[in-house]
Structure 1
Amino acid sequence: MIKSMTGFGRGESSDGIHSFTVEIKTLNHRYNDIVIKMPKHIGYLEERVKKIIKKYIIRGRVEVYINLEYINETNVDINVDIPLAKSYKSALERVAEELNIEEKITLDNIVSIPEIIKIQRKEEDEEVIWNCLKPAVEDAVDYIMNMRIKEGEELKKDVLLKINNFKEIIKSIEKKAPFIVNEYKEGLRKRVSELLGDEFNLDEEKLMNEVVFFADKSNINEEIVRLYSHINQFESSLELNESVGRKLDFLIQEMNREINTIGSKVNDIEVNSCVVEAKSELEKIREQVQNFE
């Protein structure tokens, strides 16, 4: 089943204490690159999140955003450093006295100092947090996978249409190939006649040697056979239930190589025109395949 590398998924879950929101965005990438942004104090769950994602997403850049909100704050300790507060109060009073400031020191002046009041989260059970986070991750992955599959099916239809167009171009080249040698032979005979005149007796043996040399040099049967083989492999790969993006990309490179060889071997206007069309179609296919997982 063909899957696109791009997509977006979102999941939410809550256990009455914790409320998680998970958003996953996937982009084109040669490898499986997973980047997770989550609250630092639950960073120890990162590998568990990656394990779920890797189970379903084999290739592409995966950006994961995890947000945690506490429905109530029963899991925090508030510590007040009374000795430090007294020291600050005394210091502020001395400053006010020295500078002849009559303004009184208020509670706001004291609590605005960061070190006075410290909020610390109580140590939480890792499994409790994970059991709340896991459903949100799974929902987000499930959503994004459905999106990637749907988009992949649309990409597949487009690529099949283009590979069929490419196949028709190869058929045109194949039909033209048998006539190339005869056309070369007649063209060579005509050029010699134009240059030397009708009175010149053309050596048929030398002519045939030249034609045989040209026929061997311009033979593209092997390239045609390999192209059909690559096309068959390409079409078969589109039906596989696995990640095939890299394989398809490789097959496109091989087809492009064979087309270039045909273009260099055959000096024929029609064939060269077909070669240009074939390369253009391959480039369109390659652009789409870049989106395949």
Structure 2
Amino acid sequence: MIQSMTGFGKHVVQLPSKKITVELKSLNSKNLDINARIPQAYREKELEIRKMIADSLVRGKVDLGLYVEITGEDTTAEVNEGVVRKYMNQLSNIAKGDDLKLMEIALRMPDTLKTDKDDIDEAEYKAIKDAVKKALLEIGSFRSEEGKVLEKDFVDRLKTLNDLLKKVDALDPERLGTIRERLERAVSELEVEVDANRFEQELIYYLEKYDITEEKVRLTNHLNYFETTLHSKDSNGKKLGFIAQEIGREINTIGSKANYAPMQQLVVQMKDELEKIKEQMLNVL
């Protein structure tokens, strides 16, 4: 079953004095790209958290947000009064304003809070890891649901491609007959003596250059292989992308050999369907 790379997961943990929120958002990307926003106090655990995410999500552009809100009275943060006053003095020299307004602006500046760095409490960190795991389960479920939508779209487009290929196959005898008539008419208009046997040999050789039997067989195989891979146990976005490239090659070859307007119109429709598949492929894990 395929999965989308688009997803969202969130989990909130309420501790005695803290509220911890973990948010995960993922978008499509060729590789895994994790952007983590973690409070400074938890930076030492960032690599371990990143590994948890990498093992679960595999691929995509992932935004991790870890937010900690103090809900109790215990806090290790204090206002750095000297820094705040210096900011206020500098701001008052630039623009006039009341002290409360200047303080409000100054508190947004860097280093206005000083924190005593303590070791992370093991129970607290376990709660954070559990929150990350649950957020990962949620984003995984989201990706699976999005994957079902993509899968249905792919199946519909594969059916359309197979239907168009059947029309191409049905047109093939008519196409070859038309090409043959066109060549015979062109030779007859030359008004010269032509050896019938030699002409027939050259005609067969020429028609063989426009034969698309191999392309039709290979295209059928590629379409079947795409559908088989689509329904496999794992999500194989890159593999499906490679198969789509092969499908495109066969469609292009049929188009270049067609030399017949009705068939070329069908080829254009096939290219359009394949392009839509490729666009959606960008979201598949």
**TM bracket, shorter-chain basis:** 0.7 to 0.9
Partner amino acid, structure 2, of 1:28: N
Partner amino acid, structure 2, of 1:150: E
The question of whether the paired residues in 1 share the 8 Å contact of 2:9 and 2:136 is answered with yes
* Structure with greater Cα Rg: 1
Q: Does 1:186 align with 2:181?
A: yes
Q: How far off is 1:195 after superposition?
A: 4.6
Q: Does 1:204 align with 2:196?
A: yes
Partner amino acid, structure 1, of 2:188: S
The question of whether the paired residues in 1 share the 8 Å contact of 2:32 and 2:58 is answered with yes
Q: Does 1:257 align with 2:252?
A: no
User: Counterpart in 2 of 1:96?
Assistant: none
Q: Residue 224 of structure 1 is aligned with which of 216, 222, 241? A: 216
- Cα distance in 2 for partners of 1:233, 1:280 equals 20
Q: Residue 150 of structure 1 is aligned with which of 145, 151, 155? A: 145
SS in 2 for 1:250: helix
- Cα distance in 2 for partners of 1:270, 1:247 equals 33
Aligned pairs for 1:83-94 (under 5 A) are: none
Aligned pairs for 1:61-72 (under 5 A) are: 61-72=61-72
1:147-174 deviation per Cα after TM superposition (whole angstroms, max 9, x unaligned): 1111110111111001110111111112
- Cα distance in 2 for partners of 1:233, 1:134 equals 40
1:150-207 deviation per Cα after TM superposition (whole angstroms, max 9, x unaligned): 11101111110011101111111122223433322222222333453xxx65432232
Task: Give 5+ residue unaligned stretches, structure 2.
Answer: 86-105
SS in 1 for 2:20: strand
Aligned CA distance change for structure 1 residues 215 and 42 (closer, same or farther; 3 Å): same
Aligned CA distance change for structure 1 residues 75 and 121 (closer, same or farther; 3 Å): farther
User: Could you state the TM-score of these two structures normalised by the residue count of structure 2?
Assistant: 0.82
User: Counterpart in 1 of 2:103?
Assistant: none
- Cα distance in 2 for partners of 1:203, 1:187 equals 18
- Cα distance in 2 for partners of 1:289, 1:118 equals 47
- Cα distance in 2 for partners of 1:255, 1:272 equals 16
Question: Would you identify which runs of 4 or more consecutive aligned residues in structure 1 move more than 4 Å?
Answer: 77-81
Aligned CA distance change for structure 1 residues 201 and 122 (closer, same or farther; 3 Å): closer
Partner amino acid, structure 2, of 1:238: L
Aligned pairs for 1:1-293 (under 5 A) are: 1-74=1-74, 76=76, 119-196=114-191, 201-293=193-285
Task: Give 5+ residue unaligned stretches, structure 1.
Answer: 89-111
The question of whether the paired residues in 2 share the 8 Å contact of 1:18 and 1:132 is answered with no
Q: How far off is 1:242 after superposition?
A: 1.6
The question of whether the paired residues in 1 share the 8 Å contact of 2:31 and 2:61 is answered with yes
- Cα distance in 2 for partners of 1:140, 1:172 equals 48
Query: Which region of structure 1 is more displaced relative to structure 2, 177-186 or 219-228?
Result: 177-186
1:103-123 deviation per Cα after TM superposition (whole angstroms, max 9, x unaligned): xxxxxxxxx9x9xx9743351
RMSD: 2.6
Aligned CA distance change for structure 1 residues 216 and 24 (closer, same or farther; 3 Å): same
Partner amino acid, structure 1, of 2:169: E
